[in-house]
Structure 1
Amino acid sequence: MIINRKGTINPAHPHARDIIDEEMEVPILAHWVHHEEKGDFLLDTGLDAAYSTDPKGRLEGTDVDVFQQNKGENIAKHIEQNGINLKTVFLSHLHADHAAGVRELPKNIPYVIAKGEYGQYHPKIHGDFLEGLEELYEIDFSRATLMPPLGLGVDLLGDGSLWAILTHGHTPYHVSFLVNTLAGPILLAMDAAFIHENLELGIAPSDYTWNVKKAQETLDKIIEFLGEYPQVRVGPGHEI
């Protein structure tokens, strides 16, 4: 996808210096988590095959998001190629670049978001990605564990291997994920940080963002957490 650096790194932040107004091409990511006992899970879905032939994914309207995708890069193809037996999909939020792939995935498994996030879903803008789902499961953060300095976290699989962290800002109920892998812990910030430069400069995005102040507060917490736990690797939402 194409984003603008001047919106990706908030130029109004007091520490911003010479943020260039330029377009950047960044990847759209979905994360596959394999649990030795509980099976395969997705954290976000990326795009479905429609985007390989149509940048709007067969959606109409001037507000529809536009993306680039080569043939065979859609999520269902990756599922097939890797022999993934998908058990559950956890979604960070419902923007098209994170949820469009739902259209071509099985509908007989749970799809999970933070409670309240569905209220931000606008089919005319974000697409018909949830059609066919009988139920959208919700994470209730009112019963979550406080995980200073990050905030509220929920143990998704019950064994501490995968946590959902409520990270307000990009959307009102955006979620990041902490994965305790065999190679060590990884914090998948999702769109709480678009690219590594957000983390390096300590400056959150301003464009594509529901609340810039809350997005900055969330990024500050993430940076503090990474400072306290340097063994944790971090992955932004649109950079490897």
Structure 2
Amino acid sequence: MTFQRIAFARWTGGRGTFIDRNDPRTAAVPKGDEEATIYAYVIDHPRFGRVMIDSGVSDALDSRLNGVMRRGVHDLGLRVERTTAQWSVGQTAPRAVFLTHMHFDHIGGLIDLPATTPVYAGQGEAQERNRINLVLGSPADAILSGYGPLREWAFTPDPDNAFDGVLDVFGDGSVWAIRVPGHSAGSTAYLINAVDGPKLVVGDAVSTRLGWEAGMPQPVPTDTRASAELSADRLRRFAAAHSQIEVFLGHQSRTGQAEPN
């Protein structure tokens, strides 16, 4: 099974976008900006075909967002390098999309894929409702308009007690979905046993090097802070215990990882 990472767009935000500036543990981190990349991942399974993890971006995304959300994206200086439609030319269409979570920068490329494409997400992701989401105009609902019902992963208890739940997606140990709630209700990581070694796609459970290497907490609602930190810690401990795993953060490469073209 092969694995590739694709960079679709880049944007720049203040560090407070990624770390909780109200937490005293972040006090020593200097003010400044972080560059973030919107990634998607493509896996080609010898039996089950092509699957995307997250979905890239679409030129039509702007028209699906309300005014508040459009202004926010504009303020981030989003720089699109390729859309999902442009990437798709000459490519085998994915048979399914596996989401790490349903924030706009991870699902926006679905607009460029056939509405018949099955979309999978973690338990509770589609039901997440909060005040911020209402202000932003429920962008996930707008992007997924026209798609069929979202499929939810049926996680089972992790026999190693490393995570909240796991699922052997294809039943052959090639791709595992891992429940890592906190950044969102259904945040999901994926472990891919590729021909060139295992890959761990963590989504925004840990989005930047500050979160992964320095353990800086995310700016999440108070009632999800404990689960977000626990999920991030579990992922770091899992990777440390399996040094052969290559880790792919939500919006940045780890130190020493090459950026995709």
50, 65, 68: which one aligns with 2:60 = 50
Percent identical pairs in the alignment equals 26
Return the offset for 1:61.
2.5
Q: Which residue of 2 aligns with 1:161?
A: 174
Mapping 1:131-146, distance limit 5 Å = 131-141=145-155, 143-146=156-159
Q: Deviations over 1:76-131 (max 9, x none)?
A: 221224x1231111111111000111112012221111121101265814251111
Asked whether the 8 Å contact 1:93–1:174 carries over to 2, the reply is: yes
TM-score normalised to the size of structure 2? Answer: 0.80
Pair 1:74-2:80 in alignment: no
TM-score by length of 1: 0.86
Secondary structure at the counterpart of residue 117 of structure 2: coil
1:149 aligns with 2:162: yes
SS in structure 2 opposite 1:30?
strand
**Amino acid corresponding to residue 73 of structure 1 in structure 2:** R
Contact persistence 2:104–2:139 (CA under 8 A): yes
Deviation at 1:25, TM superposition (A): 2.3
* Secondary structure, counterpart of 1:131 in structure 2: coil
Provide closer, same or farther for how the CA distance between residues 235 and 209 of structure 1 changes in structure 2, counting only shifts above 3 A: farther
CA displacement 1:203-237 (0-9 Å, x = unmatched) = 23225897222211111111111121111110100
Q: Following superposition, which runs of at least 4 residues in structure 1 exceed 4 angstroms of deviation?
A: 11-15, 207-210
Does structure 1 retain, via aligned residues, the 8 Å contact 2:101–2:125?
Answer: yes
- Separation in 2, partners of 1:208, 1:77: 36
Q: Secondary structure at the match of 1:120?
A: coil
Pairwise CA RMSD: 2.4
What letter corresponds to residue 122 of structure 2 in structure 1?
A
The equivalent position to 2:29 in structure 1, one of 13, 19, 30, is 19
Matched ranges for 1:33-48 at <5 A: 33-48=43-58
Query: In the alignment, is residue 222 of structure 1 matched against residue 235 of structure 2?
Result: yes
How many equivalent residue pairs? 233
Closer, same or farther: CA 207–3 of 1 in aligned 2, 3 Å: farther
